[in-house]
Amino acid sequence: MWMICKKEWQQFFNSITGYIVIAVFLLLNSLLLFIFPDTSILQFGYASLSNFFNYAPWVLLFLIPAVTMRSFPDEYKSGTFEILKTLPLTEAKIVWGKFFGCMLIVLTALLPTVVYAISIQCLSNNNGIDIAATSGSYIGLVFLSAIYCAVGICVGSYTNNTVVAFITSAFGY
């Protein structure tokens, strides 16, 4: 199972697409959080990441299908799914390996967003951000990401076309 997880990780970061997807995710969240006037937390007057946690699920709706769209369709296309089936792994271990690989990639994308919380904490002049609310929101974001990953892997297992998997995952929620 961990071999499949490692394979998913390496497959995602062996192409430039993986880095571009994560860079676009971080750039879009940064723009929504600091630059755009309607959603900028610098305009509020108090330290809060509520806008980030309001918009991050919508951005994740496109990040996670981009991560999961290649999990099973590429296996079907390249013919390696048959090789996976001959390994001494159950179907559940194959699916869990794919799921944990995708979750590891999503957690890698979410990890740099902790810088947002640290920067808002440093920019505040009173008490700073509510650490408990921020931690709870990050936990909720991880659980939501797990649900999105599960749906993306499920949808991807029905087709061998990555574009169909992406569109169905992104707009099928």
Residue 46: how many other CB atoms lie within 10 Å: 11
CA-to-CA distance for 140 and 33, rounded, in angstroms? 19
Name the least confident of 44-48, 162-166, 169-173: 44-48
Q: What is the mean pLDDT of residues 63-90?
A: 83
106 vs 85: CA distance, rounded Å: 26
The reply to whether the predicted model has a pTM over 0.75 is yes
What confidence score (pLDDT) does residue 45 get? 66
Residue 38 pLDDT > 90, yes or no? no
Backbone phi and psi for residue 167, each to the nearest 5 degrees, phi listed first: -65, -45
- Burial, 2: exposed, middle or buried (Cβ in 10 Å; 0-12, 13-18, 19+)? exposed
Least confident of 56-65, 99-108, 121-130: 121-130
For residue 93, report the phi and psi dihedrals to the nearest 5 degrees: -65, -35
